[in-house]
Amino acid sequence: MRAVVQRSGPASVRVDGEVVGRVPFGLVVLLGVRTGDTAEDARYLADKVAHLRVFPDETGKMNRDVREAGGAVLSISQFTLYGDVRKGRRPNYMEAARPEEAEALYEQFNAHLREYGLRVETGRFGAMMEVSLVNDGPVTILLDSQRLF
């Protein structure tokens, strides 16, 4: 699994013009699922996201996680994170998991975040979505359950 995690001010996701998820501030997570990913990958990434210390403490240092900061998570499924453009210019998505496999692991990832006491808002799996956010900092972290960047 692969995630792009952004510390955010207000963020929302729309499907067909309707807001289906909204957070006042916290983390926006774009999550991609790769063929062969497992429930262990979902748990590992949820733990990493829930405990990322990217929010300021009273001295201004990034020393708090999203729960400690009182924020929420906007979680968006995004298979394009596995787009491979090493050959040519059109992305190849062969590494991305099939939708039924990806959706199950995406839901497990969100459930694990909720187990940590986090409010989790989501987009709609498989839909065309419009994601709006204010990237705070900016702070953007890349996570991968299989290899480091």
Q: Give me the phi and psi of 107, to 5 degrees please.
A: -65, -40
In the chain, the number of structural domains is: 1
The answer to whether position 101 is within a domain reads yes
The answer to whether position 149 is within a domain reads no
The answer to whether position 122 is within a domain reads yes
Q: Which of 6, 79, 109, 122 is catalytic?
A: 79
Model pLDDT for residues 36-87, shown as the tens digit of each residue: 999 999 999 999 999 999 999 999 999 999 999 999 999 999 999 999 999 9
**Residue 16: pLDDT above 80?**
yes
**Residue 120: pLDDT above 50?**
yes
Q: Please confirm, yes or no, whether 6 is among the known catalytic residues.
A: no
**Residue 148: pLDDT above 70?**
no
pTM for the model stands at 0.94
Q: Which domain holds residue 12?
A: 2-143
The answer to whether position 125 is within a domain reads yes
Question: For the domain that residue 97 is a member of, what is the CATH number?
Answer: 3.50.80.10
Which pLDDT belongs to residue 147? 65
137 neighbors 38 (Cβ within 8 angstroms): no
**Residue 144: pLDDT above 80?**
yes
Q: Which of 78, 108, 140, 146 is catalytic?
A: 78
Q: Which of 35, 38, 80, 146 is catalytic?
A: 80
Task: Tell me the longest C-alpha to C-alpha distance in the chain.
Answer: 49
Which pLDDT belongs to residue 146? 87
Q: Please confirm, yes or no, whether 38 is among the known catalytic residues.
A: no
The answer to whether position 110 is within a domain reads yes
Q: What is the DSSP string of 95-134?
A: TBPPHHHHHHHHHHHHHHHHHTT--EEE--TTS--EEEEE
The answer to whether position 92 is within a domain reads yes
